[in-house]
């Protein structure tokens, strides 16, 4: 006996559960199939940054729409998920980096984001704990953080309360396109059918796209991360160096969390994201350089995650070009947490209304029909063209 | 051929000595300042402590191990105060005196010893509560006592031993309180006869304590520890349900030992659930092989006590030597195998006699702090399971509650967490999973980071 619904979503990460949430809110029937538990992958282990400054220029409409959702979490899902409008401090070590900062600031301002330029004396006044090697920074007040361990499960509960069905421990093993719809088989033998199918399967999504002939050069990786023991709370904003060696924040209970490039290859088949110890050492050195007062804090835990990256460092969001009714949303290249809720909203509009008011053409899967240029960001943030170890 | 031995207890010392005897120049890494590990720890120099008296009937073995290691020292690259915090392939990441470095190896013997297995109870985070091993370290390393009037609580043969050592050093023993009933000890006798000397030694400690008027209670139920800035009272319930209030200023808690398996896991060992110990143990063959170029010995592989540690350290070294083309005496291997088998069977007997009170652990009152690093209570863990965590899995519970996420990485709270999750969800304990190990296995300061190469 096959279960029939309008929409099936493969993958209960942040993107999948927000899509389900908005569909259910509009009274549509929807099932999320998740091979583990909701938020078990990237969505649950990421750094938690909701950064606005320094994003890919064409992503701002989506990004701002998403930030608005993050700012309204209690009203939308009844849980703030430790959302905290900490602001984000973007830092430069030299003139060349400072120029890059100025460029990012210009793009951000053009999109209506308030950015403050800070020179060294401003830093000494407002963020005196910043190490002397930082010569300039920009501060974006609307940027925020939220706890990734909480966000996906909380959204999933809200979606269920609105009528969505979330099935965990249920891996989609077979998909077939059938008379204007899809038939899915899962690992316990059950079958499902639907007219709309959302592929939000994270690092596993490219395999699903490939079944319909849409091959993309995605690969799995994640930034090495670590957390220190709790130390007295003194770092307000989330702090990022423009070279990516440090992305750090302190949570009010005192722990300092760090993510740092270069990223590291992870293994979606073995379901493992090992952190090479030398990358932990590199992150420790880099963090002590940016915030010297942390030199005596101890690292207690490391981890990474399994996220899909693409060579142009922007995601795939939108309808399939191979088959009607199929929508892709994956390859978030390490910045899908901030836009996750917004992506869910846009996908729900596509499914219900046939279009979304948010411009997303840049993220179309068809761009991979021809060779895609490798972005500078990609070259800078991986050890050597994706051979990250 | 570069062989590295990690751990300077009886297993690691014997392993290194055996490798050296066969012409290898092993590197021996140990966290402590002096060789000996936990059981055969030697006191800091200048401390007036009669360690020989403390070692009692173990004195001869203690002295022989230290004397032989001292004699072999020139043939072993011994590095004290060196801790291994990560392993990547055939590279060890080490920290020494606040600096990091790397060492590569061809073969690795991990003899990382054991730590206490703890059942928390309300009030166990009050100053003055120590693990039993901690209480012994304070004494043997520094000549210090954890209190003047000390209660020993748990389920372990080491309770009586430590109590006796404390008494000999001038502490008042407020009592030895064993959660296992006395008949469990009788029932275990057939197993215990595999090592009759050790069994008799244990009984003689109990007898000596009793003769000196120390209260001994079996089958008790721990209730709570009271006190604000310092332990004041230990509250227990005896077999008849009567509450006992024990006046004391320190409590040593010990429910037997659990292997320190973090390094073995990082080095690639696989694990299997052991029903009699109710723990996940690394999978090894009879000689300690745990994977390619990886050998485990001593309590870090399977709880066996000091004699088994010495024997298994020697045996693991012989296995390594045989695997790398050295000639070793088969008769020696056979003899060691037999004695290790016997000693480890004895430990299984002990696991019956001094049972891990898994029901008590699973039924801890909601307000009990289970994870003291992250302040997570038994109630928090049950609440997380309440929101539909199916199937229940420890790493998921950890992600949701932070239990096991702190400084000790679940080494203290892990066993109780496992029992609470199993009891609450009704799932067999072997199915709720195992906290995964990640580097660093001990906290490491940012300032220590030095890039290799
Ligand atoms: C370590 C790390 C740090 C990061 N930091 C940030 C940050 O600070 N800010 C930011 O904006 N972004 C960050 N990101 C990126 C962000 O986490 C991801 O882009 C985002 O979570 C992606 O969400 P998702 O729902 O697409 O994917 P996922 O969370 O990976 O969800 C996909 C789900 O699909 C399931 N699935 C896969 N195949 C199947 C199948 N066949 N059947 C059923 N289910 C299936 C998986 O189990 C998984 O749960 C970070 C990523 C990592 C790894």
Tokens 């009586």 belong to B160
Q: Spell out a b/e string for B113-147, using b for 16 or more CB atoms within 10 Å of the CB, else e.
A: bbbbbbbbbbbbebebbbbbbbbbbbbbbebebbb
Spell out the CATH class of B3-115+258-350.
alpha beta
Measured distance CA(B159)–CA(B279) in Å, rounded? 21
Please report residues of A whose CB lies closer than 8 A to that of B448: 284
Q: Which of A245, A301, A278 is nearest to A133 (CA)?
A: A245
Cα–Cα distance between A250 and B127 in angstroms, integer? 28
- Count of CB contacts below 8 A, A vs B? 85
Return the closest-CA partner of residue A135 out of A88, A104, A87, A99: A99
A9, A196 contact by CB (below 8 A): no
What's the A202 CA to ligand 1 centre distance in angstroms?
5
Q: What is the pLDDT of residue B192?
A: 64
Interchain contact, A300 vs B409, CB within 8 Å: yes
Closest protein CA for atom 33 of ligand 1: A11
Q: Does residue B372 sit at the A interface (CB-CB below 8 Å)?
A: no
Which pLDDT band, with edges at 50, 70 and 90, does B196 fall under? low
Half-sphere exposure of B260 (CA within 13 A, CB side): 20
Q: Quote the distance between the C-alpha of residue A227 and its chain's center.
A: 19
What is residue B409's DSSP assignment?
Answer: T
Instruction: Tell me the H-state helices in chain A.
Output: 14-25, 42-45, 60-71, 73-77, 95-110, 120-126, 148-161, 205-211, 277-290, 336-353, 376-381
Chain A hits for B443, CB-CB cut-off 8 Å, are 229, 298-300
Task: For residue range A275-300, list pLDDT tens digits in order.
Answer: 999 999 999 999 999 999 999 999 99
Nearest CA among B13, B26, B31, B30 for reference residue B105: B26
d(CA B117, CA B412): 7
Atom number in ligand 1 closest to CA A173 = 41
Task: Report the pLDDT value the prediction gives residue A48, as an integer from 0 to 100.
Answer: 98
**Model pLDDT, residue A382:** 81
**A72 Cβ contact partners less than 8 Å away, ≥ 6 residues apart:** none
Structural element, H or E, at residue B361: helix B358-362
Beta strands in A202-287 (DSSP E): 219-222, 225-228, 238-241, 247-250, 256-259, 264-265
Tell me the backbone φ, ψ of residue B232, rounded to 5 degrees.
-120, -45
pLDDT tier at B390, thresholds 50, 70, 90: low
Percent of chain B past pLDDT 70, that is, above it, reads: 95
- The three-state secondary structure class of A324 is coil
CA-proximal residue: ligand 1, atom 31 (nearest): A13
A294 in B contact zone (CB under 8 Å): yes
The percent of residues above 90 in pLDDT, for chain A, comes to 92
- Whether B407 has its CB under 8 Å from any CB of chain A: the answer is yes
Tell if the CB–CB gap between B444 and A149 is shorter than 8 Å: no
Which ligand 1 atom sits nearest the alpha carbon of residue A222?
53
| Residue A43 CB less than 6 A away from ligand 1 | yes
CATH class of A3-52+149-219+310-381: alpha beta
Estimate the crossing angle of helix A336-353 against helix A14-25, to 10 degrees: 40
> For position A388, what pLDDT does the model report?
38
Q: Which two tokens stand for residue A135?
A: 């010569």
From the list A37, A278, A299, the residue facing B446 with the nearest CB is A299
3-state secondary structure (DSSP) of residue B39: coil
Residue B232 pLDDT level (bands cut at 50, 70, 90):
very high
- The mean pLDDT value for A227-237 works out to 96
Q: Is A309 in the pocket of ligand 1 (CB under 6 A)?
A: no
- B269-320 pLDDT per residue, tens: 999 999 989 999 999 999 999 999 999 999 999 988 899 999 999 999 999 9
Residue of B255, B302, B296 whose CA lies nearest to B274? B302
The residue count for chain B: 453
Q: Do domains B3-115+258-350 and B118-255 have the same CATH topology?
A: yes
Q: Test A44 with B399 for CB contact under 8 angstroms.
A: yes
Element (H, E) at A305: none
Give the domain ranges of chain B.
3-115+258-350, 118-255, 358-431
Residue B182, class by beta-carbon neighbours within 10 Å (0-12 exposed, 13-18 middle, 19+ buried)? middle
Between CA B292 and CA A79 the distance in angstroms is 49
- Cα B389–chain centre separation: 31
Is the model's pLDDT at B199 over the cut of 90? no
Residues of A in contact with B88 (CB under 8 A): 276-278
**Residues paired with residue B83 on neighbouring β-strands, in sequence order:** B95
Are the Cβ atoms of B407 and A300 closer than 8 angstroms?
A: yes
A332 CB less than 6 Å from ligand 1?
A: yes
Domain boundaries, chain A: 3-52+149-219+310-381, 88-141+224-304
- Chain B residues whose CB is inside 8 A of the A279 CB are none
| Contact criterion met (CB below 8 Å) for A112 and A55 | no
Q: CA-based angle B59:B62:B66, to the nearest 5?
A: 140
CA–chain centroid gap for A346, Å, is 16
Q: Are strands B294-296 and B107-110 parallel, antiparallel or unpaired?
A: parallel
Best B446, B447, B449, B452 member to test A by mutation, with max A CBs in 10 Å, is: B446
User: Per the structure block, which two tokens stand in for A78?
Assistant: 């009844």
Question: Shortest Cα distance from B20 to chain A (angstroms)?
Answer: 30
For chain B, say whether A40 makes contact (Cβ under 8 Å).
yes
Restricting to A residues 268-287, those with a Cβ less than 8 Å away from any Cβ of B are: 275-278, 280-282, 284-285, 287
**Coil, helix or strand at residue A165:** strand
**Residue A192 CB less than 6 A away from ligand 1:** no
pLDDT band (50, 70, 90) for residue B62: very high
DSSP string, B65-97: HHHHHHHHGGGSEEE-SEEEEEEETTEEEEEET
CA distance A246 to chain B (A): 13
What's the whole-number average pLDDT of chain A?
95
- Mean pLDDT of all residues in A294-318: 96
Task: Output B190 or A167, whichever has higher pLDDT.
Answer: A167
Rounded average pLDDT over A339-351: 98
pLDDT at position A76 is: 98
How far is the C-alpha of A337 from the C-alpha of A72, rounded, in Å? 16
Q: Is the CB of A249 under 6 A from ligand 1?
A: no
pLDDT confidence tier of residue A142, bands split at 50, 70 and 90: very high
Q: What is the ipTM of this complex?
A: 0.89
Asked if the peptide bond before residue A262 counts as cis, ω within 30 degrees of 0, the response is yes
Nearest to A199 by CA among A191, A208, A210: A208
Compute the average pLDDT of residues A150-177. 96
pLDDT at B389: 65
B142 vs B45: CA distance, rounded Å: 9
Decide if B26 contacts B20 (C-beta within 8 A).
yes
Reply yes or no on whether the pLDDT at B453 is more than 70: no
Contact A70, A341 (CB under 8 A): yes
What CATH number does domain A88-141+224-304 carry, 3.40.47.10, 3.40.50.2300, 3.30.9.10, 2.40.30.10?
3.30.9.10
Is the CB of residue A46 below 6 angstroms from any atom belonging to ligand 1? yes
* Minimal C-alpha gap between B171 and chain A (Å): 35
Question: Does position B419 have pLDDT exceeding 60, yes or no?
Answer: yes
Residue A135 has pLDDT above 90, yes or no: yes
Nearest to B100 among A37, A281, A303 (CB): A281
Cβ(A223)–Cβ(A337) under 8 Å?
no
**Token pair in block for residue B149:** 């009037």
Bridging pattern class, strands B27-29 and B3-6: parallel
> Measured between CB atoms, which of A44, A276, A303 is closest to B88?
A276
- What distance in Å separates residue A66's CA from the closest CA in chain B? 24
Distance from C-alpha of A313 to C-alpha of A67, rounded to nearest angstrom:
20
State pLDDT tens for residues A51-92. 999 999 999 999 999 999 999 999 999 999 999 999 999 999
Q: Which candidate from B87, B389, B405 shows the least CB-CB separation from A301?
A: B405
- pLDDT at residue A293, as a whole number: 96
B438 touches chain A (CB under 8 A): yes
Measure A148 CA to nearest chain B CA, in Å.
10
Q: Provide the b/e sequence for A163-199 (b: ≥16 CB within 10 Å).
A: ebbbbbebebeebebeeebbbbbbeeeeebbbbbbbb
Whether the CB of A54 sits within 6 Å of ligand 1: no
Contact assessment for residue B75 and residue B20, using Cβ atoms and an 8 Å cutoff: yes
Of A168, A287, A302, the CB nearest to B439: A302
Residues 211-230 of A with CB under 8 A from B: 228-229
pLDDT at position A176 over 70: yes
Q: Quick check: B195 pLDDT over 80? A: no
Residues of B in contact with A280 (CB under 8 A): 86, 439-440
Q: Are A304 and A225 in contact (CB under 8 A)?
A: yes
Rounded distance, CA A188 to CA A181, Å?
22
Q: Write out the two tokens for A220.
A: 């799995």
Confidence bin at B449 (pLDDT 50/70/90)? very high
- A15 within ligand 1 shell (Cβ under 6 A): yes
CATH 3.40.50.620 for domain B118-255: no
Distances in whole angstroms, Cα of residue A314 to Cα of each of A6, A364, A384, B236, B246: 29, 10, 18, 62, 66
The pLDDT value given to residue B193: 62
CB atoms within 10 A of CB A335: 21
Q: Which chain A residue has the Cα nearest residue B442?
A: A300
| Cβ neighbours of residue A120 closer than 8 Å, sequence gap 6 or more | A134, A135, A136
Q: Which residue of A has its CA nearest to B391?
A: A169
Q: What is the DSSP letter of B148?
A: S
Instruction: Return the closest-CA partner of residue B282 out of B264, B297, B306, B298.
Output: B264
Q: What is the largest CA-CA distance in chain A?
A: 69
The two tokens of residue A61 are: 């409409």
The shortest CB-CB distance from A168 to any of B390, B447, B449 is to: B390
- B358-431: CATH topology: Arc Repressor Mutant, subunit A (1.10.10)
The region of weakest confidence among A316-330, B8-22, B171-185 is B171-185
Q: What's the pLDDT band for B197 if we cut at 50, 70, 90? A: low
User: Taking residues A339-363, what's their average pLDDT?
Assistant: 98
Return phi, psi of residue A221, to 5°.
-160, 180
Radius of gyration of chain B (CA): 22
Quick one: pLDDT at residue A386? 41
Q: How close is the nearest chain A Cα to the Cα of B443, in Å?
A: 5
**For the residues A99-123, what does the mean pLDDT come to?**
97
CA distance B53 to B201: 15
Pick from B372, B433, B449 the residue to mutate for testing the A interface (most A CBs within 10 Å).
Answer: B449
Provide the pLDDT for residue A1. Answer: 67
B207 Cβ contact partners less than 8 Å away, ≥ 6 residues apart:
none
Query: Ligand 1 centroid vs A303 CA: distance in angstroms?
Result: 14
Pocket test for ligand 1, best of A66, A336, A338, A340 (most atoms within 8 A of CB): A336
């Amino acid at each position: 006996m096959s279960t029939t619904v309008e929409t099936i979503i493969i993958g209960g990460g942040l993107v999948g559960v927000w899509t389900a949430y908005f569909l259910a809110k509009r009274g549509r029937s929807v099932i999320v199939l998740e091979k583990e538990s909701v938020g078990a992958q990237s969505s649950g282990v990421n750094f938690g940054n909701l950064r606005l400054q320094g994003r890919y220029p064409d992503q701002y409409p989506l990004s701002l729409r998403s930030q608005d959702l993050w700012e309204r979490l209690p009203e939308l899902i009844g849980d703030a998920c430790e959302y905290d409008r900490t602001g984000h401090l973007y830092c430069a070590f030299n003139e060349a980096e400072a120029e890059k900062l100025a460029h990012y600031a210009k793009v951000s301002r053009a999109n209506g984001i308030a950015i403050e330029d800070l020179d060294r004396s401003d830093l000494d006044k407002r963020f005196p704990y910043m190490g002397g090697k930082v010569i300039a920074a920009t501060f974006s007040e609307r940027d925020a953080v939220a706890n990734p361990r909480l966000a996906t499960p909380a959204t999933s509960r809200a979606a269920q309360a609105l009528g969505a069905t979330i099935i965990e421990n249920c891996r989609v093993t077979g998909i077939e396109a059938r008379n204007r719809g899809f038939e899915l088989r899962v690992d316990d033998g059950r079958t499902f059918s639907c007219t709309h199918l959302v592929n939000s399967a994270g690092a596993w999504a490219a395999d699903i796209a490939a079944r319909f002939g849409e091959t993309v050069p995605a690969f799995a990786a994640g930034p090495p991360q670590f957390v220190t023991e709790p130390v007295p709370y003194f770092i307000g904003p989330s702090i990022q160096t423009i070279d990516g060696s440090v992305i750090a924040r302190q949570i009010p209970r005192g722990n300092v969390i760090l993510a740092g490039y270069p990223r590291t290859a992870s293994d979606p088949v073995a379901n493992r994201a090992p952190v090479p110890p030398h990358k932990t050492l590199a992150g420790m050195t880099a963090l002590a350089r940016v915030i010297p007062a942390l030199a005596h804090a101890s690292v207690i835990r490391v981890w990474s995650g399994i996220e899909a990256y693409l060579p142009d460092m922007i995601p795939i969001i939108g309808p399939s070009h191979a088959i009607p009714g199929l929508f892709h949303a994956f390859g978030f290249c390490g910045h899908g947490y901030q836009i996750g809720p917004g992506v869910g909203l846009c996908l729900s509009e596509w499914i219900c209304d046939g279009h979304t008011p948010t411009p997303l053409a840049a993220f179309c899967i068809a761009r991979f029909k021809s060779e895609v240029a490798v972005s500078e960001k990609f070259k800078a943030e991986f050890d050597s063209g994706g051979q990250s170890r | 051929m570069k062989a590295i031995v990690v751990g300077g207890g009886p297993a690691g010392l014997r392993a290194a000595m055996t490798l050296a005897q066969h012409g290898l120049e092993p590197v021996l890494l140990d966290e402590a300042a002096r060789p000996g590990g936990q059981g055969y720890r030697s006191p800091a120099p200048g401390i007036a402590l009669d360690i020989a008296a403390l070692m009692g009937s173990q004195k001869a073995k203690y002295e022989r191990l230290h004397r032989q290691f001292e004699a072999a020292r020139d043939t072993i690259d011994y590095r004290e105060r060196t801790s291994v915090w990560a392993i990547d392939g055939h590279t060890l990441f080490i920290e020494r005196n606040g600096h990091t470095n790397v060492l590569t190896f061809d073969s690795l013997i991990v003899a990382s010893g054991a730590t206490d297995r703890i059942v928390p109870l309300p009030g166990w985070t009050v100053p003055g509560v120590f693990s039993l091993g901690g209480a012994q370290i304070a004494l043997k390393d520094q000549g210090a006592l954890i209190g003047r009037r000390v209660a020993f609580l748990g389920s372990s043969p080491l309770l009586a031993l430590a109590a006796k050592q404390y008494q000999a050093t001038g502490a008042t023993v407020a009592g030895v309180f064993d959660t296992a009933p006395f008949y469990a000890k009788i029932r275990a006798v057939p197993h215990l006869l595999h090592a009759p000397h050790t069994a008799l030694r244990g009984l003689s400690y109990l007898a000596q304590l009793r003769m000196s008027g120390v209260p001994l209670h079996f089958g008790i139920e721990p209730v709570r520890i009271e006190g604000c800035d310092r332990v004041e009272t230990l509250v227990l319930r005896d077999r008849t349900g009567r509450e006992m209030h024990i006046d004391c200023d320190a409590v040593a808690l010990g429910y037997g030992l659990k292997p320190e398996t973090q390094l073995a896991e990082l080095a690639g060992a696989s694990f299997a659930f052991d029903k009699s110990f109710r723990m996940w143990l690394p999978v090894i063959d009879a000689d300690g092989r745990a994977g390619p170029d990886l050998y485990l010995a001593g309590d870090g592989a399977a709880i066996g006590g000091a004699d088994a540690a010495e024997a298994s350290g020697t045996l693991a070294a012989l296995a390594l030597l045989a695997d790398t083309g050295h000639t070793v005496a088969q008769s020696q291997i056979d003899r060691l195998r037999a004695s290790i088998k016997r000693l480890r069977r004895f430990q299984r007997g002990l696991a019956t006699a001094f049972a891990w009170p898994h029901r008590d652990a699973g039924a801890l009152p909601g307000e009990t702090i289970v994870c003291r690093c992250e302040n997570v209570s038994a109630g928090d863990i049950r609440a997380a399971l309440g929101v539909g965590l199916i199937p229940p899995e420890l790493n998921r519970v950890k992600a949701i509650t932070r239990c096991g996420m702190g400084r000790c990485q679940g080494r203290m709270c892990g066993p109780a967490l496992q029992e609470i999750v199993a009891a609450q969800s009704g799932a067999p304990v072997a199915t709720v999973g195992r906290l995964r190990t990640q580097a660093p296995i001990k906290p490491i300061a940012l300032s220590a980071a030095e890039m290799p190469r």
